[in-house]
Structure 1
Amino acid sequence: MKNNKFFWLLSLMLVLSVFLAACGNDDAATPKGDDDKEPAAEVDEAQVLNLIMSAEIPTMDSALVTDSVGFDLLNNVNEGLYRLNDENVAVPAIAESEPTVSEDGLVYTFTIRDSKWSDGSAVTAGDFEFAWKRAMNPDTASEYGPYMMGGVIKNATAISEGKAEYTELGVKAIDEKTLEVTLEKQVPYFLSLMSFGTFLPQNEAFVTEKGADYATNSDNLISNGPFVLEAWDGTGLSWQLVKNDQYWDAEAVKLTEINYDVVKETATAVNLYTTGEKDRTGLSGEYAMQYAADADLVTELETTLFYFKYNQQRNGEDTPLANVNIREAITKAFNKQDLVDVVLANGSVPANYLVPKAFSFNEAGEDFRDINGEMSEFNVEEAKAAWEKGLSELGVTEVKLEILGGDTEVSKKMDEYFKSQLEGNLEGLEITLKEVPFAIRLDLDTNQDYDIQVAGWGPDFQDPHTFMNLWLTDGGNNKMSYSNPKYDDLINSSVGELAMDPEARWDAMAQAEKLLIEEDFGIGPIYQRGTMSLVKPYVKGVVSHSFGGDYSYKWAYIEGK
């Protein structure tokens, strides 16, 4: 779990995500803030923060965002019923207080506080009803709407299956100040979902007026959060966040401006930091070693996990990865310790699991990770044996596979390492590398047009289910034709009949994790991300989160520059 250390590693984006963020498929870092959220006294410094982002913004439509960049920015320009505080606890935000809950635990009633959009119009309960139903409207083509609401909000699953209309979603504005949400079943982590980007409100009149242009650039956006997005043309490599004077808690916001530039090369990012043009930068490889003793250095282990996605069917035909022995061989054929020590050199650790260490704990304080421990570890002999068996079953002596990765400097180095390790340890394997910008990789993932993809996931809420539900047959990140009915039954039971039985629920998810990683080799875990970064000492109060949007700048400030 995150502590109050503050760091940065956007320059190490491996161009997954859905982080997808959120999160999905993403690999932007998540720094924690300094100990104090507000300065002890009034400060005279210009309240301007200068940051680096390692990828462009794909979209700012909360119904369509699937990446860490988008969710990070949405977390700062918009606000939902709840917001994560500096301890990663979801607390009322646009909701005036905690909701009232029906006796059966299915109906939540929220009161909307007095708040405004950046154009001066009131934020209403109707804005939430409109946004959530829009995310479930098939015409919107939202990925996260069905993924986040399915099995949670009443009728969401039926809507996604075409058995109900999106207008039947269990959310209703009783009046301008009262929002009623009806659940499909009791959901232990429901309130933490209310801080997530997909559940943000949208102003119906504004969205309708803008039509297809909505959220395509900063001129076609309005905000209800601490900042507004400016100087974004929809495709550019720079933009700004400017304090939103209409925000209901504007008095708490000290920064007047946050300037972003997309920088994909570590050398360039470090140079911008050392010359004072940027206030923090991520480090890796030789730069991590060079600055290991620097007074500005901050390190931390995140709850973001990276892995190989093995696409079993491409263009309607089975790939060699449809063979479980081929998947096992690749999973075990590369040295993860050398990868994190030499290629990344940023505090990351080898991952032989799906649910990260120090992420989810039971009531006794026990880490979920301790149940299964390490699985499918690096083992060349076992990899070669599985490889030979797989080749025999396929009736071939050679296999050609493509690895899809990102276009950042670190991503390219990592892909070269994979190619060297896999070709060196698995005779007859030929690897080609396809390194593309983040938005293109998202399209290729959506279209299932890849063989092996270097992907990553940051949690959307603080529960193992945020990682486990990705690999359901119809899971949001399962664009690789993996399917196991036993896995589906275990995960569905963990949010069904076992939802209110914590011990049995964790056992079901642990069984499913072992099935996915150690028996099916449905994915190949690579590493749990750590970060090493340089941060200017005058930057205070930035808060990071172990799930959902990466950063909160609401309480950040500059002092002692």
Structure 2
Amino acid sequence: MGKFEKRIWIALVLVALVSFGFSSRNFLGAYTAVVPNSGGNYIEGIIGQPRFINPLYATSSTDRALVNLIYAGLYKYDAEGKVEPDLAENFPEISDDRKVYTIKLRDAQWHNGLTVTSSDVVYTIRTLQNPEYNSPKRIDWLSTTVTAIDERTVQFTLSAPSGPFLNNLTLPIISETIWSKLSPEEFIQSQGNIQPIGNGPYQVNEVSQLTDGSVQSISLKAFNNFHTRPSYIKSVEIKFFDDAESLLKALHGNLISGFGFNQFENRVQVRQSAKGLTIHQIPLPQYQALFFNTTVRSLGEVRVRQALNTATDKSAILSEVFDNQGLLIESPILAQQVSNLPEPTSNTNLDEAKLLLEQAGWFYPEGGNVRQKGTQQLKYRLATNENWINLRAAEMIIEQWRELGVEVELISMPTRELNEQVIQPRAYDMLLFAHKLGADPDPFVFWHSSQTKAPGLNLSSYANNAVDALISEARATTDRTIRDEKYIQLHNIMKQDLPAIFLVQSVYTYAINDNIKGFSVSKMPDETVRFFNLRDWYLETKRVLQKN
């Protein structure tokens, strides 16, 4: 073969190879798809120490987050914060009187290989109902009876219909075989509270502790026999930090892949432009409000409350105090929980506020700078805790109201003292504090007139017969459409009545490495349920043939 023929042959081979490459790429694009593959390791940083990785005792955000990785309940929350089946095969069969819930269990295993049965469900509920175990969840189950119909069928009987009850069924289940051997005293001291055997998507692999007993990290591995499918990410490591500063140092040193916070609990600043991170901001059913004690004579006047609300620049508080990590609200009814709620507006208008006070008979005395009516003056004491978010918001509001002719003295103290000395006896004119609602929008404990005394949390001592009726009607039905209608009516009443100035709804800021895919949570009943979705996250991918 001559040189010329050889060159032509080489050129033809190169053309063929290039053509094959393009054809292969076109084939891959047309007939295959990229899908998640198993593998990889995710490391999350959490501020705080685990103490009770046990569904019956977990109250801290650290414990509850770990419980949601290691345990499963009959139901869980999906990416939009709605309840969906987990250990249950389907949604419950509910009796005509809405009091009896019958649930079938799917085939599921504990991490030790035993089968999850209805006896485990019954044991979990009856144990937390037993006052000897002193579970903080007990109050949610006092009016419920639970029975095992057969090995895979469980039945709950309520004393009265309850709209929020389905949320109770997201409680993770513990194993009767493991825990029933322990007395109440042994139960709370068990090593199983730190090295649990659960039934969730991940199982404990290793717990790393220092000599003083503090936990440095917990290593988890995907549970291969999980009842839906194994998680894509094969291992998860949770590292524990004392404060935000040390956590951020670990992030910048690439020692963790992600972390989360909300401004009410940890003041952390992470910019959307942070390199290598995707920042998610997810609304939480938690809000900051300034509660008026409506038993105080002047604060019992609607126009005074309306004037104070109109003079409050909520947008400035959101920007300066929350670093825009929050949402403006107008009532205790939140858009993430109720459909078709009107968009909130922020209409700060000092002139309108002054006019409202004057219409109510509040004027400046000669030479004075505080409005009065007769012998009454617009002077108040505003109480809050020592949380920076609440303190700074209170200071801004006091400054804004000064121009209105209202004088306010700020009183702050540690949360425990505030609760015992001020909140429980309702010994305040105003209180700036946060309400944490939970998964269901039911505001009974916060706004029904029967809850004006401790331990009720109607912090405004607010009483309105129409509001009471709407709250009672909404919590007595499981019909979502009817409940939404009642809550929108409630929203409209409270927006006008203003027993409190509803300031900012909290968001959960979650920063995770760009390499992590599959995070799709848009709403959460609380920050700890972000891990319900972790079984769908992935780091690795593969190509598979597409089905026609």
TM over 0.5: yes
C-alpha displacement of 1:491 = 0.9
- What is the root-mean-square deviation in Å for CA atoms of aligned residues? 4.5
* Contact kept? 2:362, 2:372, Cα under 8 Å: yes
The match for 1:240 is 218
Q: Evaluate the alpha carbon distance shift between residue 85 and residue 287 of structure 1 in structure 2; reply closer, same or farther with a 3 A threshold.
A: closer
The residue identity in structure 2 corresponding to 1:128 is V
* Structure 2 portions without partners, runs of 5+: 1-33, 364-370, 542-548
C-alpha displacement of 1:378 = 4.1
C-alpha displacement of 1:337 = 0.7
Q: Evaluate the alpha carbon distance shift between residue 295 and residue 276 of structure 1 in structure 2; reply closer, same or farther with a 3 A threshold.
A: closer
| 1:406-485 equivalences in 2 (<5 Å) | 406=387, 412=388, 415-426=391-402, 427-434=406-413, 452-457=431-436, 459-461=438-440, 465-467=441-443, 470-473=446-449, 478=457, 480=459, 482-484=461-463
The residue identity in structure 2 corresponding to 1:257 is V
Q: Evaluate the alpha carbon distance shift between residue 309 and residue 73 of structure 1 in structure 2; reply closer, same or farther with a 3 A threshold.
A: farther
Q: Evaluate the alpha carbon distance shift between residue 488 and residue 243 of structure 1 in structure 2; reply closer, same or farther with a 3 A threshold.
A: farther
C-alpha displacement of 1:430 = 1.4
| 1:73-84 equivalences in 2 (<5 Å) | 73-84=66-77
The match for 1:529 is 506
| 1:295-374 equivalences in 2 (<5 Å) | 296-308=277-289, 310=291, 312=293, 323=300, 331-361=309-339, 367=340, 369-370=341-342, 373-374=343-344
Q: Evaluate the alpha carbon distance shift between residue 193 and residue 445 of structure 1 in structure 2; reply closer, same or farther with a 3 A threshold.
A: farther
SS at match of 1:482: coil
The residue identity in structure 1 corresponding to 2:474 is S
C-alpha offsets along residues 19-67 of structure 1, whole Å, 9 cap, x if unaligned? xxxxxxxxxxxxxxxxxxx963344x4x2422233x5557555345555
SS at match of 1:181: strand
SS at match of 2:55: coil
* Contact kept? 2:109, 2:225, Cα under 8 Å: yes
Rounded Cα–Cα distance in structure 1 between residues aligned with 2:254 and 2:282: 26
C-alpha displacement of 1:425 = 1.9
Rounded Cα–Cα distance in structure 2 between residues aligned with 1:101 and 1:415: 47
The residue identity in structure 2 corresponding to 1:493 is E
SS at match of 2:334: coil
Q: Which one of 508, 511, 514 corresponds to residue 492 of structure 2?
A: 514
C-alpha offsets along residues 370-391 of structure 1, whole Å, 9 cap, x if unaligned? 2xx5479544456663896997
* Contact kept? 2:398, 2:407, Cα under 8 Å: no
C-alpha offsets along residues 508-534 of structure 1, whole Å, 9 cap, x if unaligned? 323323344431x33331113345554
Q: Evaluate the alpha carbon distance shift between residue 89 and residue 424 of structure 1 in structure 2; reply closer, same or farther with a 3 A threshold.
A: closer
* Contact kept? 1:77, 1:224, Cα under 8 Å: yes
The match for 2:473 is 493
Q: Evaluate the alpha carbon distance shift between residue 277 and residue 381 of structure 1 in structure 2; reply closer, same or farther with a 3 A threshold.
A: farther
The match for 1:214 is 187
Rounded Cα–Cα distance in structure 1 between residues aligned with 2:480 and 2:254: 53
Q: Which one of 221, 227, 236 corresponds to residue 257 of structure 1?
A: 236
Rounded Cα–Cα distance in structure 2 between residues aligned with 1:145 and 1:377: 43
Rounded Cα–Cα distance in structure 1 between residues aligned with 2:536 and 2:296: 49
| 1:119-158 equivalences in 2 (<5 Å) | 121-137=114-130, 144-146=137-139, 148-149=140-141, 156=143
The match for 1:178 is 153
* Contact kept? 2:516, 2:537, Cα under 8 Å: yes
The match for 2:3 is none
Rounded Cα–Cα distance in structure 1 between residues aligned with 2:174 and 2:181: 14
SS at match of 2:442: helix
Q: Evaluate the alpha carbon distance shift between residue 99 and residue 421 of structure 1 in structure 2; reply closer, same or farther with a 3 A threshold.
A: closer
Q: Evaluate the alpha carbon distance shift between residue 349 and residue 79 of structure 1 in structure 2; reply closer, same or farther with a 3 A threshold.
A: same
C-alpha displacement of 1:91 = 3.4
C-alpha displacement of 1:251 = 5.4
| 1:10-25 equivalences in 2 (<5 Å) | none
C-alpha offsets along residues 410-462 of structure 1, whole Å, 9 cap, x if unaligned? xx1552242133245244311133356xx99888899578852431435414x
Query: Does 2:84 align with 1:94?
Result: no
SS at match of 1:209: coil
The match for 1:539 is 516
* Structure 1 portions without partners, runs of 5+: 1-37, 151-155, 157-168, 362-366, 407-411
Rounded Cα–Cα distance in structure 2 between residues aligned with 1:277 and 1:57: 20
TM-score calculated relative to the size of structure 1: 0.68
Rounded Cα–Cα distance in structure 1 between residues aligned with 2:54 and 2:310: 39
Rounded Cα–Cα distance in structure 2 between residues aligned with 1:202 and 1:312: 46
Rounded Cα–Cα distance in structure 1 between residues aligned with 2:475 and 2:332: 18
What percent of counterpart residues are identical? 16
* Contact kept? 2:45, 2:238, Cα under 8 Å: yes
SS at match of 1:539: coil
Q: State the aligned residue count.
A: 473
Q: Evaluate the alpha carbon distance shift between residue 508 and residue 466 of structure 1 in structure 2; reply closer, same or farther with a 3 A threshold.
A: closer
Q: Evaluate the alpha carbon distance shift between residue 501 and residue 115 of structure 1 in structure 2; reply closer, same or farther with a 3 A threshold.
A: closer
The residue identity in structure 2 corresponding to 1:403 is T
Q: Evaluate the alpha carbon distance shift between residue 184 and residue 324 of structure 1 in structure 2; reply closer, same or farther with a 3 A threshold.
A: farther
Query: Does 2:44 align with 1:50?
Result: yes
C-alpha displacement of 1:281 = 4.4
TM-score calculated relative to the size of structure 2: 0.69
Q: Evaluate the alpha carbon distance shift between residue 134 and residue 518 of structure 1 in structure 2; reply closer, same or farther with a 3 A threshold.
A: farther
The match for 1:110 is 103
Rounded Cα–Cα distance in structure 2 between residues aligned with 1:311 and 1:179: 45
C-alpha displacement of 1:321 = 10
Q: Which has the larger radius of gyration?
A: 2
Query: Does 2:199 align with 1:224?
Result: yes
C-alpha displacement of 1:353 = 2.4
SS at match of 2:185: helix
Q: Evaluate the alpha carbon distance shift between residue 453 and residue 413 of structure 1 in structure 2; reply closer, same or farther with a 3 A threshold.
A: closer
* Contact kept? 1:403, 1:434, Cα under 8 Å: yes
Q: Evaluate the alpha carbon distance shift between residue 114 and residue 301 of structure 1 in structure 2; reply closer, same or farther with a 3 A threshold.
A: closer
C-alpha displacement of 1:182 = 2.6
C-alpha displacement of 1:309 = 5.9
Rounded Cα–Cα distance in structure 2 between residues aligned with 1:394 and 1:279: 62
SS at match of 1:214: helix
Query: Does 2:244 align with 1:271?
Result: no
C-alpha displacement of 1:402 = 2.3
C-alpha offsets along residues 235-259 of structure 1, whole Å, 9 cap, x if unaligned? 9575525237486349513342321
